[in-house]
Structure 1
Amino acid sequence: FFIFNILDFQDHQITELKKFTKAAFSLDDILTTASTLKYTGAIKKVLDDELTNPSEAFVRFFAAKIFDGRLTKPVVEQFTPIVKEARKQFINERINERLTSALSAEDPQDVEVIQGEVAGDTNSQEKSGIITTEEEIEGFHVVKAILRQIVDVSRITMRDTKSYCGILLDDNNRKPICRLHFNHSQKYLGVFSQKTEERIAIDSVDDLYKYSEQMKNAVKDYEKE
Structure 2
Amino acid sequence: MPIEDAIKELATKVTDHGRALLTEEATKTAVVLPFIARVLGYDVFDPSEVLPEFTSDIGTKKGEKVDFAILRGGDVQMLIECKPIGAPLDINHASQLFRYFHVTNARIGVLTNGQYWHFFTDLDQPNKMDQHPFLRLNLLDVDPYALPELQKMTKSTFDLDSVLSAAEELKYVSGVKQAIDQLFASPTEEFVRLLAAKVYDRPLTAKMREFFTGVTVKASKQWITEQVNTRLKTALQGQGVSMPAPAATSDPVEDSEGDEGPKDIETTFEEIEGFNIVRAIAVSDVPVERVAARDTKSYFGILLDDNNRKPICRLHFNRKQKFIGIVGEDKSETRIPIDKISDIYHHADAIREAVRRFA
- Using the size of structure 2 for normalisation, the TM-score is 0.41
Q: How far apart, in 2, do the equivalents of 1:133 and 1:149 lie?
A: 22
Unpaired segments ≥5 residues, structure 2: 1-132, 280-287, 329-333
Shift of residue 75, structure 1, vs aligned partner: 3.0
| Structure-2 residue corresponding to 1:50 | 183
Assess if the C-alpha contact under 8 Å between 1:181 and 1:187 holds in 2.
yes
Tell me, in whole angstroms, the C-alpha distance in 2 between the residues paired with 1:181 and 1:25. 42
Q: CA deviation at 1:16?
A: 0.5
Aligned sequence identity (%)? 24
1:19 match: 152
Match in the other structure for 2:352: 222
The question of 1:33 aligning with 2:166 is answered yes
Q: Measure the CA separation in 2 of the matches of 1:119 and 1:188.
A: 29
Give a deviation string over 1:92-145, Cα, whole Å, max 9, x none: 2223323333346689xx95xx847x2416xx69xx994243569877965874
Q: Which has the higher strand share?
A: 2
Output the amino acid matched with 2:337. Answer: R
In structure 2, distance between residues paired with 1:74 and 1:187: 27
Please state how far the C-alpha of 1:39 moved relative to its aligned partner: 1.8
How many residue pairs match? The answer is 198
Larger radius of gyration: 2
Measure how far apart 1:62 and its partner are. Answer: 0.5
Higher helix residue share = 1
CA 1:72–1:18: 2 relative to 1, 3 Å: same
1:1-225 matched pairs, under 5 angstroms: 1=133, 2-6=135-139, 8-22=141-155, 23-27=157-161, 29-103=162-236, 115=244, 118-120=246-248, 130-134=255-259, 145-146=272-273, 147=275, 151=279, 152=288, 154-156=290-292, 167-170=301-304, 176-178=312-314, 180=316, 189-191=322-324, 197-199=335-337, 211-215=340-344, 222=352
Aligned AA (1:59): V
* RMSD across aligned positions (CA): 4.8
Unaligned 5+ segments in structure 1 are: 201-209
* Aligned partners of 1:136 and 1:165 also within 8 Å: no
1:25-81 Cα deviation digits (max 9, x unpaired): 224x43333322322222122111111111101101111222222334333223111
Equivalent-residue separation in structure 1 for 2:228 and 2:214 (angstroms)? 21
Distance change (3 Å), C-alpha of 1:134 and 1:49: farther
> Conserved in 2, the CA contact under 8 Å of 1:175 and 1:222?
no
Maintained 8 Å contact 2:192/2:209: yes
